[in-house]
Amino acid sequence: MKNLLVTGGCGFIGSNFIRHLFYETGFSGRLINVDKLTYAGNLENLSALAAAYPDRYVFVPADICDADAMAEVFDTYAVDTVCHFAAESHVDRSIVEPDAFIRTNIIGTHRLLECARARIDRIELFHHVSTDEVYGSLGAEGYFSETTAFDPSSPYAASKAASDHLVSACHRTYGLPITISNCSNNYGAYQFPEKLIPLVILNALAGKPLPVYGEGKNVRDWLYVTDHCRAIWQIMTSGKRGRTYNIGGHAEKTNIDVVTLICDLLDAMLPPPEGINSRRELITFVTDRPGHDLRYAIDFSRITKELCWEPTESFETGLKKTIEWYLDNTGWVERIRSGEYLKWIGQNYDYRLAGN
Indicate which residues carry an active-site annotation.
132-133, 156
Give the span between the Cα atoms of 78 and 94, in whole angstroms.
Answer: 34
**CB distance 110 to 164 below 8 Å:** no
Amino acid in position 56: R
**CB distance 313 to 226 below 8 Å:** yes
| Cβ-based neighbour number of residue 232 at 10 Å | 25
Q: Which of 250, 242, 236, 116 is nearest to 183 (CA)?
A: 250
Give the span between the Cα atoms of 157 and 141, in whole angstroms.
Answer: 21
Strand ranges inside the chain, DSSP E: 3-7, 30-35, 57-61, 81-84, 125-131, 178-183, 185-187, 210-213, 219-224, 243-247, 252-254, 283-286
Give the span between the Cα atoms of 252 and 250, in whole angstroms.
Answer: 6
Give the span between the Cα atoms of 86 and 83, in whole angstroms.
Answer: 9
